[in-house]
Homo-oligomer: A and B are copies of this chain.
Amino acid sequence: MAERHRTWGRWGPDDERGSTNYVSRDKVREAAGLVRTGQVFSLATPFDRAGPNHGRPGSPRVNPQHIMFRHGGDMLADWENARHGMRSTDDGVYMPLQAATQWDAFCHVFFDGVTYNGHGPESVTGAGAAHNSITEVRETTTGRGVLLDFPRFYGVDWLEPEQAVQDDDLAACAEHQGVVIGEGDIVLVRTGHMERRRQEEFWGDYAAGPAPGLGLSACDYLLPRKVAAVASDTWGLEVVPCESLPDVPFGMHVVMLVNAGVLIGEIWDLDALALACAADGVYEFFLSAPPLRITGAVGSPLNPIAVK
């Protein structure tokens, strides 16, 4: 399957944008034409110490650590002076780049020693990614977004962990919603899993735990349609535990990132957008989802913006 969907060389041997190349100027212009109501939706989760990671011992994936360098309390500690004139506050952060709403860069995953377009392990070192960094797609992740809202399609509150969405499901949901997935699209797959965690126990085992998500056959539906990226409201996009390939824990990651050059987005909050789409029956929109420009990064936090 991986070889069937491989796009290496399609945009030249030096290409590092993969299927986001499908987001042409025409596609961007058409996407802007989808804006009708002017509603704006942030698809980001909160970046803070409350979640979504649960701090497994041994993992570097701690929650985002927001750090105040100087704050209002510092003014109060020097109030005689600070009550007059100008004072400022300042802050910082320590965080894994995939700690919350994020993009995986192609080079987040290697298979048999290579990543997208054939780059070997020496392409990602302590200096960061020399090739396929997430910053390469900073201008090609703005275009048409399409939402597939499976809980509403199925008439349930949320999909269950281990419940897989396959190629037929994608086709049926798209048809039901009256939307056609096409070249250069960023496809948003809503499983309701984040909504569930919000209602039940925020965040619990959300990160790295069992989850609903795409089954392997989803690749056969999405990739021939030349999508640029696929994002979801789960931590891994794929159904977890993943459908098995021999020795490959996350098979879709291999097919999409390494072979097809299709971006994977994870931990996106699609709930408010989905509510609005259900209200007006329109599941396509303008989407601006640029990564931060952290040189050499193999993933990126972001605040994706959908405009209906």
Contacts and interface: CB of A to CB of B under 8 A. Distances in A.
A248 B28 contact: no
A25 B54 contact: no
A295 to B, nearest CB: 4
A35 B29 contact: yes
Contacts of A194: none
Contacts of A100: 293
Interface in A11-55: 24-29, 32-33, 35-42, 44-51, 53-55
A208 interface: no
Interface residues of A, number: 117
Contact of A62 (B65, B66, B83): B65
Contact of A84 (B142, B247, B286): B247
Contacts of A35: 28-29, 32-33
Contacts of A294: 47-48, 64, 66, 93
B47 A57 contact: no
Interface string A133-150: 001001110100000000
Given A72-B73, A86-B109, A86-B250, A305 B288 contact: yes
A125 B288 contact: no
Instruction: Give the most central of A44, A71, A112: most B CB within 10 Å.
Output: A71
Interface in A263-308: 286, 288, 290-299, 301-303, 305, 307
Interface string A237-267: 0000000000111100110000000000000
Contacts of A63: 55, 57, 62
A124 interface: yes
A91 interface: yes
Contacts of A303: 138, 290-293, 302
A155 interface: no
Interface of A: 24-29, 32-33, 35-42, 44-51, 53-79, 82-101, 107-113, 120-129, 135, 138-140, 142, 203, 247-250, 253-254, 286, 288, 290-299, 301-303, 305, 307
19 contacts: A27-B38, A28-B38, A32-B32, A42-B290, A44-B293, A55-B62, A57-B63, A62-B63, A67-B69, A68-B68, A71-B126, A75-B113, A76-B122, A77-B121, A85-B247, A86-B247, A90-B97, A288-B307, A292-B303
